[in-house]
Amino acid sequence: MNKKIITFSIMILWLIISLGLIASKQYTISTGKKVLLETVPVDPRDFLRGDYVILSYKISDLDLSIVSPNKSDFKRGKSIYVKLEPREKYWEAVSVKEKNNIKTDEVIVKGKIKYNYQQGHLMVSYGIENYFVPEGKGKEIEQSMRRGSSNTVSVEAIVDKFGNAVVNKLYINDSEVKF
Amino acid sequence: MHIVGGLLSLLVLGLTIYLPIRIILGRKNPILKWLQKEILSWERKNIINTEQGNSILQEYNLKRIDVGKKMDTVKIITLIGSIFLGLGVIFFVASNWQEIPKHIRTGILLGTTFITLYLGYFFSCENSRYPVLGKSLLFLSSLFWGGSIALICQIYHIPSSDNWLVVLLWAFPILPIVYFFDNKYTLVLTSALFVVWNFLYSSSNDVANYYYPVIVFILMLPMAKKFKVGQQMNIIGLLLAGFYCPFFKYEWLPLFISIGLLSCYLIKKEEKEYLYAASLSFVAWHITYFSIREISPNFYFLLPLATLFYLTYKEKSKLNLAINIMSLILWFHYTLYTYSKIFDNRYSFITTVIIQSAIGIILYIIGISHRNKEMGSPYKIFGYTTAFGCTYLLSFKKMLLNNTVYSKLFFWMSLLLMFIAVVLLIGKFLKNYFNTKSAKWELLALLSVIISNLFILMNPYLILFDTVVANAVLVVFAVVNIFYGVEEENPAIFNSGIAIFVLFVITRYIDIFWELKEKSWFFIIGGLFMIIGGMYLEKQRRKVLEKMNK
Burial class (CB in 10 A: 0-12, 13-18, 19+), B339: middle
* B97 with A134: Cβ contact below 8 A: yes
Helix (H) or strand (E) holding B370: none
Residue B24 neighbours by CB distance under 10 Å: 20
Buried-exposed string B44-60: b where 16+ CB fall within 10 A, e elsewhere: eeeeeeeeebeebbeee
B359 touches B397 (CB < 8 A): no
Angle between helices B437-458 and B373-394 (to 10 degrees): 40
Local confidence pLDDT in tens for the 550 residues of chain B: 444 444 454 455 455 545 554 555 555 567 777 887 888 888 877 788 888 888 888 877 777 776 555 456 666 777 777 777 777 776 666 665 666 787 888 888 898 899 999 999 998 888 777 788 888 889 999 998 998 888 888 888 887 667 888 899 999 999 999 999 999 999 999 999 999 999 999 988 888 999 999 999 999 999 998 788 899 999 999 999 999 998 888 889 999 999 999 999 999 877 889 999 999 999 999 999 988 887 788 888 999 999 999 999 998 899 999 999 999 999 998 888 888 877 777 667 888 889 999 999 999 999 988 888 888 989 988 898 888 889 888 888 877 777 777 777 788 888 999 999 999 989 888 887 888 888 888 888 889 999 998 998 888 888 888 888 888 888 888 888 888 887 777 777 888 888 888 888 888 877 776 666 566 666 666 677 667 777 776 777 777 667 666 6
The single-letter code of the amino acid at B82 is S
* B97 with A17: Cβ contact below 8 A: no
Domain residue extents for chain B: 345-550
Q: Which of residues 37-96 of A touch B (CB under 8 A)?
A: 49-52, 76-77
Is the CB of A124 inside 8 Å of chain B's CB atoms? Answer: no
- pLDDT at residue A12 greater than cutoff 60: yes
The single-letter code of the amino acid at A88 is E
Rounded Cα gap, residues B453 and B10, in angstroms: 33
* A179 with B121: Cβ contact below 8 A: no
The single-letter code of the amino acid at B217 is F
A77 contact residues in B (CB cutoff 8 A): 205-207
Q: Higher confidence at residue A8 or residue A114?
A: A8
Q: Which of residues 19-48 of A touch B (CB under 8 A)?
A: 21-22, 25
A156 contact residues in B (CB cutoff 8 A): none
Sign of CA dihedral B76, B78, B84, B89: negative
Helix (H) or strand (E) holding B68: none
Residue of B nearest to A47 (CA): B160
Of residues A133, A129, A137, A136, the one with CA closest to residue A155: A129
The single-letter code of the amino acid at B369 is S
Give, rounded to a whole angstrom, the gap between the first and last alpha carbons of chain B.
Answer: 58
Distance from CA of A67 to the nearest CA of B (A): 23
Residue of A nearest to B97 (CA): A134
Distance from CA of A169 to the nearest CA of B (A): 11
A146 touches A41 (CB < 8 A): yes
Query: Which pLDDT score, from 0 to 100, does residue B97 have?
Result: 61
Scanning B206-251, the segments in alpha helix (DSSP H) are: 211-215, 221-224, 228-248
* B159 with A125: Cβ contact below 8 A: yes
Distance from CA of A117 to the nearest CA of B (A): 16
Query: B375: Cβ–Cβ under 8 A, 6 or more apart, which residues?
Result: B313, B316, B318, B321
Is the CB of B179 inside 8 Å of chain A's CB atoms? Answer: no
Of residues B353, B335, B352, B331, the one with CA closest to residue B343: B335
Radius of gyration of chain A (CA): 19
A96 touches A78 (CB < 8 A): no
A7 contact residues in B (CB cutoff 8 A): 117-118, 121
**Residue from the list A6, A17, A51 with its beta carbon closest to the beta carbon of B180:** A6
* A3 with B125: Cβ contact below 8 A: yes
Full strand arrangement of the beta sheet holding A175-176? A33-38, A153-159, A165-172, A175-176
* B176 with A10: Cβ contact below 8 A: yes
Query: Which pLDDT score, from 0 to 100, does residue B95 have?
Result: 64
Rounded Cα gap, residues B240 and B198, in angstroms: 10
* A129 with B117: Cβ contact below 8 A: no
Query: Which pLDDT score, from 0 to 100, does residue B282 have?
Result: 93
Is the CB of B118 inside 8 Å of chain A's CB atoms? Answer: yes
Distance from CA of A158 to the nearest CA of B (A): 11
Rounded Cα gap, residues A60 and A129, in angstroms: 9
Q: Higher confidence at residue A84 or residue A52?
A: A84
Is the CB of B14 inside 8 Å of chain A's CB atoms? Answer: no
* C-alpha torsion B465→B469→B474→B475, nearest 10: 100
Percent of chain A clearing pLDDT 70 (strictly above): 85
* A7 with B113: Cβ contact below 8 A: no
Rounded Cα gap, residues B112 and B110, in angstroms: 5
Is the CB of B258 inside 8 Å of chain A's CB atoms? Answer: no
Rounded Cα gap, residues B219 and B294, in angstroms: 36
Query: B237: Cβ–Cβ under 8 A, 6 or more apart, which residues?
Result: B191, B194, B195, B198, B212, B216
A168 contact residues in B (CB cutoff 8 A): none
Q: How far is CA A137 from the centre of its chain?
A: 21
Residue of B nearest to A170 (CA): B157
Buried-exposed string B420-442: b where 16+ CB fall within 10 A, e elsewhere: ebbebbeebeeeebbeeebbebb
Q: How far is CA B55 from the centre of its chain?
A: 32
Query: Which pLDDT score, from 0 to 100, does residue A65 have?
Result: 82
B152 contact residues in A (CB cutoff 8 A): 18, 21-22
Residue A3 neighbours by CB distance under 10 Å: 14
* A3 with B121: Cβ contact below 8 A: yes
* Residue to substitute from B156, B186, B203, interface A, most A β-carbons within 10 A: B156
Residue of B nearest to A22 (CA): B152
Query: Which pLDDT score, from 0 to 100, does residue B263 have?
Result: 94
* B96 with A1: Cβ contact below 8 A: no
Distance from CA of A15 to the nearest CA of B (A): 8
* A14 with B114: Cβ contact below 8 A: yes
Query: Which pLDDT score, from 0 to 100, does residue B517 have?
Result: 59
Query: Which pLDDT score, from 0 to 100, does residue B204 have?
Result: 82
ipTM metric? 0.80
Helix (H) or strand (E) holding A92: strand A90-97
C-alpha to C-alpha distances, B539 to B535, B543, B545, nearest whole angstrom: 6, 6, 10
* A11 with B98: Cβ contact below 8 A: no
Residue A148 neighbours by CB distance under 10 Å: 6
Is the CB of B170 inside 8 Å of chain A's CB atoms? Answer: no
Query: Which pLDDT score, from 0 to 100, does residue B2 have?
Result: 45
Is the CB of B30 inside 8 Å of chain A's CB atoms? Answer: no
| Beta pairing partners, A87 | A90
DSSP-assigned letter for residue B66: -
A31 touches A160 (CB < 8 A): yes
Is the CB of B121 inside 8 Å of chain A's CB atoms? Answer: yes
Residue of A nearest to B201 (CA): A77
**Residue from the list B148, B205, B206 with its beta carbon closest to the beta carbon of A18:** B148
**Residue from the list B110, B160, B177 with its beta carbon closest to the beta carbon of A130:** B160
Burial class (CB in 10 A: 0-12, 13-18, 19+), B310: exposed
Full strand arrangement of the beta sheet holding A61-63? A61-63, A121-125, A107-117, A79-87, A90-97
* A21 with B180: Cβ contact below 8 A: no
B90 contact residues in A (CB cutoff 8 A): none
